[in-house]
């Protein structure tokens, strides 16, 4: 599932590409994706509105629109938002005279996609970018498309000034990269919690935006074992975890996220954090601290945790 760095990367991309454009329509083959409106009402509500800015809260993409509305997208397990141009397969026969490259033609002929990218590169070539379930049509001819293999993505539309009433947004914990998220604030949050640290770090109502990947990574850097109980952590250990929450998330944003699984950037490209992983999904590999440890996988509440049994105490 995309976590804070992946969602932040998408939001930064949206601020570069989509701000100032008007929405001219929307499409989905999966009306259940839209949680707040029926599709026809949704299209009616967003049509003609201008994209003012994009921002992030936890793992939610928030797109503020003119007229006091905000479009919210949660990419959930396998969704990622793309900026591109697609045509419906049914339109393809009308376009035969146009000069598409051979790769594109092959894909058209296989007949397994409903929407096909007219832009060559990763939007055509990467299978994870081809599951377009939801589209926002923009005034410059481009589109925002949600590619979502498993169809768990969620879309909401609400009043910008009442965002906290949508889904769980009002109940989310603080943003870990917010300057107001200080060490004192982190310690105070942890002192009110019980349970294993891996689970506490992943709880969006404690701290927003950290999931399976980055909780493993933070604990590897901090040298704390994922099964340690938060109430037994020393002040020094909490300070170290706090330091590496900020460090790892910033590093992952710099890498444009982790594309080991479905996530891609707004342009459909790979992020790079999968090449920097220290623990996540490295079961059986030598610890990069060269301490003789071999990364081990355990299961905590049906989620896997990866750690080095030598340096993570």
CB of 285 to Zn ion, least distance (A): 11
Q: Which stretch binds Zn ion (CB under 5 A): 116-124, 195-203, 255-263, 291-299?
A: 291-299
| 120 neighbors 107 (Cβ within 8 angstroms) | no
Site string for Zn ion, 5-24 (x = CB under 5 A): --------------------
Question: What's the token pair of residue 223?
Answer: 């040298």
Nearer to Zn ion, 118 or 288 (CB): 288
Nearer to Zn ion, 133 or 306 (CB): 306
Site string for Zn ion, 250-289 (x = CB under 5 A): -------------------------------------x-x
Distance CA 313, CA 308 (A): 9
- Distances from the Cα of 162 to the Cα of 41, 45, 64, 104, 158, angstroms: 19, 16, 12, 44, 7
Catalytic residue from among 53, 289, 303, 309: 303
Distance CA 69, CA 92 (A): 35
CA angle 106, 31, 35 (to 5 degrees): 130
Q: Which stretch binds Zn ion (CB under 5 A): 193-201, 226-234, 245-253, 302-310?
A: 302-310
Nearer to Zn ion, 261 or 304 (CB): 304
The answer to the question of residue 291 lying near Zn ion (CB under 5 A) is yes
Look at strands 79-84 and 69-74 and give their pairing.
unpaired
Nearer to Zn ion, 211 or 223 (CB): 223
- Distances from the Cα of 24 to the Cα of 48, 50, 66, 141, 192, angstroms: 6, 9, 13, 9, 48
226 is catalytic: no
Instruction: Select the residue interacting with Zn ion from 293, 298, 300, 303 (CB under 5 A).
Output: 293
CA angle 234, 179, 175 (to 5 degrees): 80
Q: Which of residues 74-113 bind Zn ion (CB under 5 A)?
A: none
Total residues contacting Zn ion by CB under 5 A comes to 7
Question: What's the token pair of residue 236?
Answer: 């020094």
Nearer to Zn ion, 173 or 293 (CB): 293
**What residue has token string 């005279």?**
97
Instruction: Select the residue interacting with Zn ion from 21, 149, 177, 310 (CB under 5 A).
Output: 310
Enumerate binding residues for Zn ion (CB under 5 A): 287, 289, 291, 293, 308, 310-311
């Amino acid at each position: 599932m995309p976590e804070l760095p992946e969602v932040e990367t998408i939001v930064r991309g949206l601020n570069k590409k989509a701000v100032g454009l008007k929405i001219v329509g929307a499409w989905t083959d999966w009306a259940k994706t839209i949680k707040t409106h029926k599709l026809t009402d949704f299209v009616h509500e967003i049509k003609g509105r201008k994209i003012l800015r994009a921002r992030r809260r936890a793992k939610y993409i928030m797109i503020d629109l003119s007229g006091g509305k905000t479009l919210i997208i949660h990419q959930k397990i396998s969704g990622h938002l793309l900026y591109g141009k697609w045509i419906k397969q049914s339109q393809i026969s009308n376009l035969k005279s146009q000069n598409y490259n051979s790769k594109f033609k092959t894909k058209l002929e296989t007949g397994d996609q409903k929407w096909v990218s007219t832009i060559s590169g990763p939007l055509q070539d990467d299978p994870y970018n081809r599951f377009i379930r939801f589209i926002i049509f923009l005034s410059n001819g481009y589109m925002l498309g949600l590619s979502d293999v498993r169809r768990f993505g969620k879309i909401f539309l609400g009043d910008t000034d009442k965002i906290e009433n949508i889904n769980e947004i009002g109940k989310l914990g603080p943003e870990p990269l917010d300057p107001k998220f200080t060490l004192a604030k982190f310690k105070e949050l942890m002192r009110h919690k019980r349970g294993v640290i891996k689970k506490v770090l992943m709880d969006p109502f404690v701290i927003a935006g950290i999931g399976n990947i980055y909780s493993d990574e933070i604990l590897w850097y901090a040298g704390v074992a994922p099964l340690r109980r938060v109430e037994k952590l020393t002040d020094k250990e909490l300070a170290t975890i706090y330091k590496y929450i900020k460090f790892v998330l910033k590093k992952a944003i710099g890498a444009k996220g982790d594309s080991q699984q479905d996530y891609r950037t707004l342009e459909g490209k790979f992020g790079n954090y999968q090449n920097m992983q220290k623990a996540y999904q490295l079961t059986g590999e030598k610890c990069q601290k060269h301490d003789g440890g071999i990364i081990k996988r355990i299961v905590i509440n049906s989620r896997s945790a990866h750690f080095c049994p030598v340096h993570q105490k």
